């Protein structure tokens, strides 16, 4: 921005002045005893209200019969109602027969899937992963902290690889996956990734599908959590990984996940998994041991509410109208307060739930602490990396969806003050060392 000098070109005196000014601002904010939260990647009340009709859409026994005549109030059907599968099939471009409609959280489905691999192995008669010694997963980073927590909990070693603006660094992924049979999988959030908001290019999707990993029992955990979560009218294209997998004969490598948590009600939505026929053949009997089936009344509720994929898309346009101003506000405040100083950069996502913010290396933890002292809670620095270790201590995940605009503005302004303060502190320290 014109008239602004990068901090790296400032004198000790100028940095000292910034320190004093920004500290004074922060002290003023602190006196207000604010409690502002930028951690929660969850829908706000206005978004939830868009789905309120679902609460009464099933009100009678007559609403409970599936098109096959099945009474959804009773036992029966493990893999999902045909009409619910059809809805997801149309929405996500997946063959209906590849879809399982499961519980209320895709995180739960991913956890169960990994545990199943650990206990029973994958299709093909391979040893369970837990009997193969130390196993490893490739973790494009920054990424979704809960993927990393699952690996950590199950004792799976995580190998971070760089996430570029078009997907994971595939040279790194190939080097690791194709040389080491103890590498059993990769986490992918292919569209509006958490927290970067990037979408994999067709080339990257193809390369992932075409990969011939050293482990014959390798699996791609394709977490398409934000498949229909555009913030703007133009649809952001993501290639269908199963199309490329079919061309390469690798359909069995793919485990696909999605949910309606950020479409209808988190915790009261539907999670799905899609996989090849052979994978499903192995998985379904194990699920049958685990449960009598999932909530079919909720599956009916979703079908009656949306009717078809266009119903979901229309609903998501209404959600976007609520979310867009929040993302734009954060980006505007960042531009106004930070641009031109060369002390931070951030993503401008076209969808999803997060803005990824990068501060000067070595400053993210300090920014987190300063913000907390002024009443703004951020997701802890480091959480977006395996083991909570950001090698640069630079990335922060901002979740603008839940707070109202009136809270979001001061929270973002406070954050900018903290960034200036932490950067000035760091640069002064470096200057005084010399």
Ligand X SMILES: Cc1ncc(COP(=O)(O)O)c(C=O)c1O
Give the footprint of ligand X on this chain (CB under 6 A).
41, 105-107, 144, 189, 194, 223, 225, 259, 261, 266, 271
101/414 with CB nearer ligand X: 101
- What b-and-e string marks burial along 36-62, b requiring 16 or more CB atoms within 10 Å of the CB? bebeebebbeebeebbeebeeebeeee
* Cα 75 to Cα 17: distance, rounded to the nearest angstrom: 70
Question: Mapped to the 3 state alphabet, what secondary structure does 398-426 carry?
Answer: ECCCCCCHHHHHHHHHHHHHHHHHHHHHH
How far, CA to CA in Å, does 217 sit from each of 19, 169, 214, 325, 328? 55, 22, 9, 45, 43
- Nearest-approach distance from CB 94 to ligand X, in angstroms: 17
**Does residue 232 contact residue 121 with C-beta atoms inside 8 Å?**
no
Rounded to the nearest 5 degrees, what angle is found at the Cα of 397, between the Cα atoms of 373 and 240? Answer: 165
- Nearest-approach distance from CB 300 to ligand X, in angstroms: 19
Least Cα distance to 292 among 67, 70, 76 occurs for 76
- Nearest-approach distance from CB 144 to ligand X, in angstroms: 4
Least Cα distance to 252 among 283, 221, 219 occurs for 219
106/299 with CB nearer ligand X: 106
- Nearest-approach distance from CB 430 to ligand X, in angstroms: 36
DSSP E strand boundaries for 279-404: 344-346, 355-359, 376-377, 395-398
Query: For the chain, give me the number of helices (H) and strands (E)?
Result: 13, 13
39/373 with CB nearer ligand X: 39
225/300 with CB nearer ligand X: 225
Which tokens go with 59? 């009100």
- Nearest-approach distance from CB 189 to ligand X, in angstroms: 4
113/259 with CB nearer ligand X: 259
* Cα 170 to Cα 204: distance, rounded to the nearest angstrom: 7
294/341 with CB nearer ligand X: 294
Q: Which residues, in sequence order, are bridge partners of residue 162?
A: 141
17 contacts: CB under 8 Å, gap ≥ 6: none
29/88 with CB nearer ligand X: 88
- Nearest-approach distance from CB 315 to ligand X, in angstroms: 17
109/338 with CB nearer ligand X: 109
- Nearest-approach distance from CB 353 to ligand X, in angstroms: 6
- Count the neighbouring beta carbons within 10 Å of the beta carbon of residue 344: 22
Torsion angle in degrees (nearest 10) through CA of 379, 383, 385, 387: 180
Q: Give the CA diameter of the chain.
A: 79
29/265 with CB nearer ligand X: 265
- Nearest-approach distance from CB 190 to ligand X, in angstroms: 10
42/409 with CB nearer ligand X: 42
- Nearest-approach distance from CB 354 to ligand X, in angstroms: 8
- Nearest-approach distance from CB 307 to ligand X, in angstroms: 22
107/363 with CB nearer ligand X: 107
- Nearest-approach distance from CB 276 to ligand X, in angstroms: 21
Least Cα distance to 208 among 106, 275, 140 occurs for 140
């Amino acid at each position: 921005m014109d008239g602004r000098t990068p901090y790296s070109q400032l004198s000790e005196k100028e940095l000292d002045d910034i320190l004093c000014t920004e500290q004074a601002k922060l002290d003023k904010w602190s006196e207000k005893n604010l409690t502002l939260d930028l951690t929660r990647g969850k829908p706000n009340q206005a978004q939830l209200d868009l789905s309120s009709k679902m609460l009464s859409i099933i009100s009678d026994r007559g609403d409970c019969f599936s098109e096959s005549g099945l009474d959804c109030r009773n036992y029966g059907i493990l893999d999902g109602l045909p009409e619910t599968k059809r809805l997801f099939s149309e929405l996500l471009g997946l063959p209906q027969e590849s879809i399982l409609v499961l519980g209320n959280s895709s995180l739960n489905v991913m956890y169960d899937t990994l545990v199943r691999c650990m206990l029973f192995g994958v299709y093909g008669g391979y040893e369970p992963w837990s009997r193969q010694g130390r196993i490893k997963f490739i973790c494009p980073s920054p990424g979704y902290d809960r993927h990393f927590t699952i690996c950590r909990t199950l004792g799976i070693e995580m190998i971070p690889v760089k996430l570029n603006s078009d997907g994971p660094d595939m040279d790194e992924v190939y080097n690791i996956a194709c040389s080491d049979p103890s590498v059993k999988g990769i986490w992918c959030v292919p569209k509006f990734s958490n927290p970067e908001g990037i979408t994999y290019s067709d080339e990257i999707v193809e390369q992932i599908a075409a990969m011939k990993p050293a482990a014959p029992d390798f699996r791609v955990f394709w977490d398409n959590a934000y498949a229909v979560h555009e913030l703007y009218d133009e649809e952001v294209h993501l290639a269908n990984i199963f199309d490329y997998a079919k061309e390469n004969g690798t359909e069995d490598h793919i485990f696909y996940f999605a949910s309606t948590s950020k479409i209808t009600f988190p915790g009261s939505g539907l999670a799905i998994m899609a996989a090849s026929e052979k994978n499903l053949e192995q998985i379904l009997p194990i699920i049958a041991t685990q449960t009598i089936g999932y909530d079919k009344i909720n599956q009916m509720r979703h079908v009656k509410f949306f009717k078809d994929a266009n119903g979901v898309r229309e609903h998501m346009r209404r959600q976007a109208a609520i979310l867009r101003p929040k993302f734009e506000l954060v980006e505007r405040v960042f531009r106004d307060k930070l641009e031109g100083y060369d002390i931070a950069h951030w993503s401008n996502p076209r969808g999803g739930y997060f803005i990824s913010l990068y501060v000067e290396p070595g400053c993210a933890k300090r920014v987190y602490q300063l913000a907390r002292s002024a009443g703004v809670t951020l997701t802890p620095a480091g959480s977006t990396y395996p083991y909570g270790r950001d090698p640069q201590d630079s990335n922060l995940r901002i979740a603008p969806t839940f707070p109202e605009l009136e809270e979001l503005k001061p929270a973002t302004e406070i954050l900018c003050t903290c960034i200036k303060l932490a950067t000035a502190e760091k640069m002064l320290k470096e200057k005084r060392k010399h």
